[in-house]
Amino acid sequence: MTCTEANRLIGPWVDDELDVRSVVELEAHVARCPTCGREKNELLALRETARERLPRFDPPPGLEERLLRSVRQTAAARRRPARRWLREVALMAAAASIAVAATSSLRRSADPGGEIVDAHLRSLQAGHLTDVASSDQHTVKPWFQGKIDFGVPVRDFVAEGFPLVGGRLDMVGGRPVAALVYGRRQHLINVFVGPATDRDEPLRTVSSRGYRVSSWAQGGLEYRLVTDVAVSEADQLVALLRAL
**Shortest Å distance, C-beta 35 to Zn ion:** 5
For Zn ion, the closer CB: 79 or 199: 79
- In the complex with Zn ion, the residue whose CB is nearer, 34 or 210, is 34
The identity of residue 13, as a single letter, is W
36 touching Zn ion, by CB under 5 A: yes
Q: How many residues bind Zn ion (CB under 5 A)?
A: 4
Nearest approach, Cβ of residue 6 and Zn ion (Å): 5
Name which of 81 and 195 has its Cβ closer to Zn ion: 81
DSSP bridge partners of 175: 172
CB of 1 to Zn ion, least distance (A): 8
Q: CB-wise, 36 or 171, nearer to Zn ion?
A: 36
Specify the residue, 34 or 55, whose C-beta has the smaller distance to Zn ion. Answer: 34
The answer for residues whose C-beta is within 8 angstroms of residue 31's C-beta and 6 or more apart is: 37
Residues 6 or more apart whose CB falls under 8 angstroms from that of 39 comprise 6, 7, 10, 81, 82, 83
Question: Which listed range, 2-10, 45-53, 146-154, 155-163, lies at the site for Zn ion (CB under 5 A)?
Answer: 2-10
Indicate whether 3 belongs to the interface with Zn ion (CB under 5 A): yes
Helix, coil or strand: residue 191: strand
For residue 188, report the phi and psi dihedrals to the nearest 5 degrees. Answer: -120, 145
Stretch touching Zn ion by CB under 5 A, among 28-36, 134-142, 200-208, 209-217? 28-36
Residue type, 202: P
Please classify residue 99 by burial: count the beta carbons closer than 10 Å to its beta carbon, then call 0-12 exposed, 13-18 middle and 19+ buried.
Answer: buried
CA distance 123 to 131: 11
CB of 34 to Zn ion, least distance (A): 8
Q: What angle do CA 137, 140, 142 make, to 5 degrees?
A: 105
Distance CA 166, CA 210 (A): 24
Cα Rg of the chain (Å, integer): 19
Is 33 near Zn ion (CB under 5 A)?
Answer: yes
Closer residue to Zn ion in complex, CB, 22/190:
22
Show the binding pattern over residues 202-221: x = contacts Zn ion (CB under 5 A), - = does not.
--------------------
Enumerate binding residues for Zn ion (CB under 5 A): 3, 6, 33, 36
